[in-house]
Amino acid sequence: MGELWSKMSRLYNRSASWSYPRNYGFYVSEVRGLFNDSLSCCVNSLLQSFSATTELLDILNKWNPSAGIKQSNIPLQLKNALLAMRDSSHPAPHRDLLKSLYHHAISRYTQQDADEIFHIILNLTQKQMPEPCLAQEIRSLYEIKVETQVKCSHCASIQRCPSSLFSLPLAIREGENTLESCIDSYFQLQNLADGEENYCNQCEKKQPSTHGQKLVSLPLIMCVHLKRFRNERGFTRKLFNKVTFPETFNTSVFAAAQSENVASDAPRADEHYSLYAVIVHIGFAMSGHYTAYVKQAQDQMWCYANDSYVKPATWADVQRTYKGDNTAYLLLYRKSWNSSG
Ligand SMILES: [Zn+2]
């Protein structure tokens, strides 16, 4: 099987337009296709994004798992799967990871929410990592630190509550949206008045207040979650509205979201983020399919991965996921320090 696999992979590499049998996985340069196992398209697409996040495997590679470690350990299986995705000689490099995920948290044969599975995999990876400093490194790689601030309109005192996120959950409005407009809305201050007043510790009574999220720090890898699924009266519906997003953007879009007590690791205005992976949802809320666009590290070319099927793609292809049936759901951006970086 291994021999057949590498032969077919070589064939496909020679001609990207070669038509392939559906049951075989292929790769384009750095990107390997993954078999769909028990409707694993959601995990498969996320694995493509984890594989494109070379920093994650760099952290996992610092760890030497002990001989007695359980085979269901998620960081072990994630490391094995990511290593196998760089090797063309095995047809199903992620089956043991899928088995471990099914064992811990995920149901087989069900439609998954990619943002939820993204959180489950990252949470389990850091919680089951036996080396605390590496667990922290994994956390820091993705962690967006925010602070909920409630400001009393009478005495101006501020109550702060820190929290952290693995993805920035951005609501989508009816009509057309841009990534910037979604970020603006997320960090917009809300007035708490007319029965919603907040108790102020300084004034020792309920007062009209403003409530909002403030940004404390952004990580190296920033995941943006476009909230396309809305629950209305017990039914989930998908929002097909247009959301444009840039291939690179400047952190000045977060300027209005900065915390009032700016932390030392707060984003600087000259930082840039570059898009390198997009998880795409195809179809409707209750029945759909996930695929991924990933940018290859070496030649910076886009690639499309639909389970075992992988083909070269362009930025124009990625832009077609702004709206409609095939819509971008998670965006992964990587920080670079200046416009040339
Ligand atoms: Zn007050």
In order, the DSSP letters of 267-327 are PPTT-EEEEEEEEEEEE-SSSEEEEEEEE-TTT--EEEEETTEEEEE-HHHHHGGGSSSEE
**Average pLDDT rounded to a whole number, residues 324-328:** 92
So where are the chain's domains?
24-336
120 CA distance to ligand 1 centroid (A)?
39
- What's the predicted TM-score (pTM) here? 0.86
**Average pLDDT rounded to a whole number, residues 312-329:** 95
213 CA distance to ligand 1 centroid (A)?
19
Domain 24-336 falls under CATH 3.40.605.10: no
User: What pLDDT score was predicted for residue 5?
Assistant: 38
193 CA distance to ligand 1 centroid (A)?
13
**Residue % of the chain over a pLDDT of 70:** 84
201 CA distance to ligand 1 centroid (A)?
7
206 CA distance to ligand 1 centroid (A)?
8
Q: In this model, does residue 230 exceed pLDDT 70?
A: yes
Interval 132-155: pLDDT, tens: 999 999 999 999 999 999 999 999
- 61-83: b or e for each residue (b if 16 or more CB lie within 10 Å)? eebebeeeeeebbbbbbbbbbbe
CA 338, CA 176: separation in Å to the nearest integer? 29
Interval 263-283: pLDDT, tens: 556 666 678 999 999 999 999
Interval 38-96: pLDDT, tens: 778 999 999 999 999 999 999 999 999 998 999 889 999 999 999 988 876 555 578 88
281 CA distance to ligand 1 centroid (A)?
45
Alpha-helix runs per DSSP H in 54-207: 54-60, 74-84, 95-104, 114-127, 132-142, 179-187
329 CA distance to ligand 1 centroid (A)?
40
183 CA distance to ligand 1 centroid (A)?
28
> 144 with 166: CB under 8 angstroms?
yes
CA 201, CA 229: separation in Å to the nearest integer? 38
181 CA distance to ligand 1 centroid (A)?
31
Give SS3 for 47.
helix
160 CA distance to ligand 1 centroid (A)?
14
204 CA distance to ligand 1 centroid (A)?
7
154 CA distance to ligand 1 centroid (A)?
5
238 CA distance to ligand 1 centroid (A)?
41
